[in-house]
Structure 1
Amino acid sequence: MSQKFSNSDQIRVVSTFSDLVHTNFKGEMNAICWHRNLNGDFKEIVAKLSLKENITEISAEDLIALQLSEKGKIAREIILNDLRLLTDFGASPSLNLLKCYERDDEFDFISTDVYSFHVDRSPIATDTFLCTYYGAASDIVSNSQAEQKILIPEIRVKLKKLHDGSDEEFEDFLKENYFDLHYQLHENAVPINLGLGHLWRLAVDHPKQQVLPCVHRAPRENEGEYRLLLIC
């Protein structure tokens, strides 16, 4: 279930929640992993939850109401504890049972859905936290291995054809439509899968950010399998 990570230019591996939230991003390091080997039966929880839409938010009350085996109870307590830790820290965690995200296939040369490598942006200082308990896990990639799609000449030309306005307004057009958040990997890029059970903190693009935001993407889901994902 667990994937082994080591400290690198991009990733800092920590062993406590306190270190996860209090370690500062710096240099090329824009992803922090609270590395964990979780016990418990998360598959049982997924099997007993009800998917109402492609993305269904699961409340703590929903979890508590489940009739579970001993291993299922262990998994539930881990999730509830993660929700408590993040809430007490001041974050707003959401637990999602996920079949799939909405896809953006309007243009064949650029996509703005979460399956595309992208960064998160916020008007205030914040971070993205996520943990996949079950199902396919997300990927990140080093900023040096990716390029903003809007800087790629052939894509930029096509975007300018979409823009009905002056050159001065073009950059605003790119931001308003989130085109500037999406990245294309270099040919030799090696994405890193975030694995199951680890709680990650990823750098976000915001006015006070001191590092580059973390480039990441949602995975293509495994056939016939839901994901159980904590995110905020």
Structure 2
Amino acid sequence: MSNTFSDNDQIGVVSSFSELVNTNFQGTMNAISWYRNLNGDFKEIVSKLQLKENITEVLTEDLLALQLSEKGIMAREIILNDLKLLTDFGASPSLNLLKCYERDEELDFISTDVYSFHVDRSPIGTDTFLCTYHGAASDIIPNDQVEQKILIPEIREKLKELHDGPEAEFETFLKDYFFDLHYQPKPNAKPINLESGHLWRLAVDHPEQKVLPCVHRAPVENDGEYRLLLIC
């Protein structure tokens, strides 16, 4: 299959939902793409949805209530089918209309919001699924091109000052406040944009995981443009 991700060791490329959920992560491959070129007018759907907050969950009934053109109807059918496939698989997908995420501006030396490269963690075996239908798409980055922020000496020192408690409890403090989930790209790192339309499965940090979790980030939104994102 000819596509923009075929030559990347981090990414597995499949051509069906069944392959997406049944292909095992292995080696350095911790992201799998159901690669597809979607027909339909997703921009029309975005233009007709109502943004109630910076992040508004779009329910099935909200989609079904929209008066759409033929191409808008095609886009809606694709979204509804993706939601059904994931729900039938046992996932809990959420469709979000996004203006922006909340920024973490509390500490000036480390960011822990979703715009920072990070991994997802779960106490149980699970994966992250996402698809951007409209707007800016997320990035991933190979694990060997990033450094855990808590291991960067100057950041670690400031975190120790912030902790201001027994040394034995420092690692627990880092986990409790999710500092350990965030990563800094190394010089010359090359993030990979996930593009729109493809449904992705990303490896999560959990006890049974056989590969490194996938490091990813939310994109800075395009000015004046909302994102339409499926995630679970």
Using structure 1 for the length normalisation, give the TM-score: 0.98
Structure 1 Cα separation of the partners of residues 87 and 164 of structure 2: 43
* Aligned twin of 2:30: 30
Give deviations 1:144-179, integer Å, cap 9, x for gaps.
Answer: 000100011111001000002101000000000000
Residue 195 in structure 1 maps to residue 205 in structure 2: no
Structure 2 Cα separation of the partners of residues 200 and 42 of structure 1: 18
Q: CA RMSD in A?
A: 0.7
In structure 2, the residue corresponding to 1:158 is in which secondary structure?
A: helix
After TM superposition, list the pairs within 5 Å mapping 1:50-61 onto structure 2: 50-61=50-61
* Aligned twin of 1:115: 115
* Aligned twin of 1:222: 222
The Cα of 1:6 is off from its aligned counterpart by 1.0
Give deviations 1:119-145, integer Å, cap 9, x for gaps.
Answer: 000010000000000000000000000
In structure 1, the residue corresponding to 2:196 is in which secondary structure?
A: coil
1:135–1:226 contact (8 Å) kept in structure 2? yes
Structure 1 Cα separation of the partners of residues 187 and 110 of structure 2: 17
Residue 181 in structure 1 maps to residue 181 in structure 2: yes
1:7–1:13 contact (8 Å) kept in structure 2? no
Structure 1 Cα separation of the partners of residues 135 and 123 of structure 2: 31
Give deviations 1:174-211, integer Å, cap 9, x for gaps.
Answer: 00000000000000100000000000000000011110
Give deviations 1:68-114, integer Å, cap 9, x for gaps.
Answer: 00000000000000000000000000000000000001111100100
* Aligned twin of 1:91: 91
* Aligned twin of 2:171: 171
Residue 74 in structure 1 maps to residue 74 in structure 2: yes
Segments ≥4 residues shifted beyond 6 Å: none
Structure 2 Cα separation of the partners of residues 185 and 207 of structure 1: 25
Give deviations 1:23-70, integer Å, cap 9, x for gaps.
Answer: 001111100000000000000000000000000000111101100000
* Aligned twin of 1:46: 46
In structure 2, the residue corresponding to 1:114 is in which secondary structure?
A: coil
In structure 1, the residue corresponding to 2:132 is in which secondary structure?
A: strand
What amino acid maps onto 2:175 in structure 1? K
Structure 1 Cα separation of the partners of residues 72 and 219 of structure 2: 25
Percent identity, please: 79
Structure 2 Cα separation of the partners of residues 51 and 179 of structure 1: 31
Residue 153 in structure 1 maps to residue 175 in structure 2: no
Number of aligned residue pairs: give it.
Answer: 230
* Aligned twin of 1:11: 11
Structure 2 Cα separation of the partners of residues 15 and 90 of structure 1: 20
Structure 2 Cα separation of the partners of residues 28 and 4 of structure 1: 18
In structure 2, the residue corresponding to 1:174 is in which secondary structure?
A: helix
Please, which runs of 5 or more residues in structure 1 have no aligned partner? none
Structure 2 Cα separation of the partners of residues 11 and 4 of structure 1: 10
The Cα of 1:4 is off from its aligned counterpart by 2.6
Structure 2 Cα separation of the partners of residues 131 and 169 of structure 1: 38
What amino acid maps onto 1:218 in structure 2? A
Using structure 2 for the length normalisation, give the TM-score: 0.98
